[in-house]
Amino acid sequence: MPVNLWFWIIFNAGVLSVLAIDLFAFQQKAHRPSVKEAAIWTLIWVILSLGFSWAVWYWMGPAKAVEFLTGYLVEYSLSVDNIFVFVLIFSYFAVPAAYQHRVLFWGILSALVLRGVMIGAGAAFVQTFHWALYVFGAFLLFTGAKLLFNRKKVIDIAGNPVIRLVRSWMPVTDNYHGGHFTICRNGRRILTPLAMVLIMVEITDVLFAVDSIPAIFGITHDPFIIYTSNVCAVLGLRSLYFLVAGVVNRFVYLKPALAIILSFIGMKMLLADVLHIPTAAALGFIGSVLLAATILSLLVKHRHASAQPASEREHHSEPVINKR
């Protein structure tokens, strides 16, 4: 059954309201959120998402709520992979810490629009052509295998064709000008490096959405569930970045876990006509894989730190102390 139009209106109005509160009440002064602040906002976004899943349960039934939670978990875990690239982009452009939050805010706001368009197009395509699900399933299997066997991803920021195209169209300043994306010089609008960073963040999100959006079609075909789970996951990405950016490299088993999840969903889509896997079972499998990957990553890191000689630990820790 088509979802009531009011559900779409209320959800989007709620998202815009929360974003407005975040922007105008808490982010008026440019700053890098502390770990405590990032943890609080991450918890807030998770609680809001879980609260919305309860609303879905109440208005649409438990099956739809499980679909939302499964989609949210998949999208949220896949969005963590974005953080690796965000760290690289911010490092390459030497973005001042105080302005990273601004880039992610507007980048994620734009991502909501782009993902909405991609989800709408994908839903229409799947409803028109059933065989599209097999294409998505095969694509996810290929993506999972590539993620599993090609763990090192080389990203050429300087050679990105979109960046080169933008530079050929508009001049870019050499230095940052506060939190401005553009400035006016001699009556001409000029981009700042911060605008180039925003463009790279947008490109990154689109590329990751190509993987993540087909994945959620393996869980549900309901455009409302697909859209809302995507939005809730993306909204929490900004605070999650500031919470785990410094330690994201410790999760050494995250990429293999994501590869397993994508491959599982791909197989689920390919076998949908001959083998039905309940959404609740898929939710349990995905949650178990992510939990196992997290525990194994922490155990490996702890074992490596314990096995390292004290003199070596002091040698490696000293430069960090000096830098501070």
Domain assignment present for residue 324? The answer is: no
Domain assignment present for residue 264? The answer is: yes
Domain assignment present for residue 118? The answer is: yes
Q: Considering Cα of 138, then 144, then 146, then 148, what sign does the dihedral take?
A: negative
First to last CA, the chain: 58
Domain assignment present for residue 171? The answer is: yes
pTM, entire model: 0.79
Give the total number of structural domains in the chain: 1
Q: Which domain holds residue 227?
A: 5-308
Q: Which single residue is written with the structure tokens 């870019």?
A: 172
Domain assignment present for residue 51? The answer is: yes
Domain assignment present for residue 318? The answer is: no
- Ordered per-residue pLDDT tens for the chain, 324 residues: 566 788 888 888 888 888 877 766 666 666 677 778 888 888 988 999 999 999 999 999 999 999 999 999 988 888 777 787 888 888 888 888 888 888 888 888 888 888 888 888 888 888 888 788 888 888 888 888 887 776 555 566 666 777 778 777 888 887 888 888 888 887 788 888 888 889 888 888 887 788 788 888 888 888 899 999 988 988 888 888 888 776 666 777 888 888 888 889 889 888 877 888 888 888 899 889 988 988 888 787 656 555 555 444 444 433 332 332
Q: What is the 3-state secondary structure (H, E, C) of the chain?
A: CCCCHHHHHHHHHHHHHHHHHHHHHHCCCCCCCCHHHHHHHHHHHHHHHHHHHHHHHHHHCHHHHHHHHHHHHHHHHHHHHHHHHHHHHHHHCCCCHHHHHHHHHHHHHHHHHHHHHHHHHHHHHHHHCCCHHHHHHHHHHHHHHHHHHCCCCCCCCCCCHHHHHHHHHCCECCCCCCCCCEEEECCEEEECHHHHHHHHHHHHHHHHHHHHHHHHHCCCCCHHHHHHHHHHHHHCHHHHHHHHCCCHHHCCCHHHHHHHHHHHHHHHHHCCCCCCCCHHHHHHHHHHHHHHHHHHHHHHHHHHHHHCCHHHHHHHHHHHHHHC
Six token digits for residue 67: 């679909």
Domain assignment present for residue 273? The answer is: yes
pLDDT (0 to 100) of residue 317: 38
